[in-house]
Amino acid sequence: MKIAFFSTQLYDRTYFNQYNRGHELVFFEAPLNEQTVNLASGFTAICAFVNDTISEPVIRQLAAQGVQLIALRCAGYNNVDLAAARAHQIPVVRVPAYSPFAVAEHAVAMILTLNRKTHKAYNRVREGNFSLQGLTGFDLHGKTVGVIGTGQIGQVFAGIMQGFGCRVLAFDVIANKDMEAKGVEYLPLVKLLPQCDIISLHCPLNEQTKQIISTQTLSMMKDGVMLINTSRGGLIDTQAATDALKTGRLGYLGIDVYEQEEKLFFHNLQDEIIHDDVIMRLMSFPNVLVTAHQGFFTDEALTQIAQTTLQSINDFEQGKALVNRIA
């Protein structure tokens, strides 16, 4: 099968070529959108990533060009018009779980970095400054951590934080009985937010969760709270978060995702002027840590992504049931 990959980096080529068996893989650095969809002409399937735009016009054009399968090499699918895919009878598959440990551990790394300021200490020592002034952190032990979204990643994250001796509260549509048995307490959001010293987002982005962190919900939090987002940028109203940083409501902010990340993340812009004033303002705060959608980036996760995606493509080619189908 001939497959067009969009929004690719060197690591995509490395891992997919390593596990490919018999397919013709063509890698495009360009994202998939209305301007680039013609690149898919002549391909049986396309493989897309989180920041590709798979809208109704794109899907209509894919169908017209003979594309028969949309394979997402990610878990999230808020960028896909599933109704349009069904209407044009193009199955959509995803990678529902590659490595929940990768993302959960990255969230913890962001917490530790912001708290103990290891990134600042590293730069100081390299410059010969061994002062500890301004590097004071706090014990994680005994703190209250809120987990919003308790899917596989949220569950792993909660377990890690319990290992630090934290009290863990959770919010989700349905309480997980196994987590409750381990001591996690499920609460409504309005009761969870005021109690937490740290809040970490692990829910999908949909109409119910879009900007779940807003001026209203930020007003419910403790002064100085730490907020971590390794899920989807649209979960946070970025302007509201910026205002909360100015007032001290947010004491720390760690984001691995950003609402407008598609023009920034996965690109080397060090020699260019960045015109996104919002992200530049965020990065000017000393208590903000930004990583560029790095949470998934482990060998285990990349291996699982490649293997699961290619297995779905194999199953489609062989007429088998698509276990990871979402449309």
Q: How many other CB atoms sit within 10 Å of the CB of residue 38?
A: 9
CA distances from 22 to 16, 17, 44, 91, 114 (A): 12, 10, 14, 21, 46
Q: For residue 89, which of 118, 59, 131 has the smallest C-alpha distance?
A: 59
State the Cα angle at 71 between 66 and 73, rounded to 5°: 150
Question: What's the CA gap between 120 and 25, in Å, rounded?
Answer: 42
Q: Is 261 a catalytic residue?
A: yes
Q: Is 232 a catalytic residue?
A: yes
Q: Is 293 a catalytic residue?
A: yes
| Choice among 105, 259, 261, 262 that is catalytic | 261
| Choice among 94, 232, 259, 262 that is catalytic | 232
Question: What's the CA gap between 280 and 17, in Å, rounded?
Answer: 36
Q: For residue 34, which of 65, 58, 70, 2 has the smallest C-alpha distance?
A: 58
**Which residues have CB under 8 Å from 75's CB, separation 6+?**
94, 95, 96, 97, 98
Residues labelled catalytic: 232, 261, 293
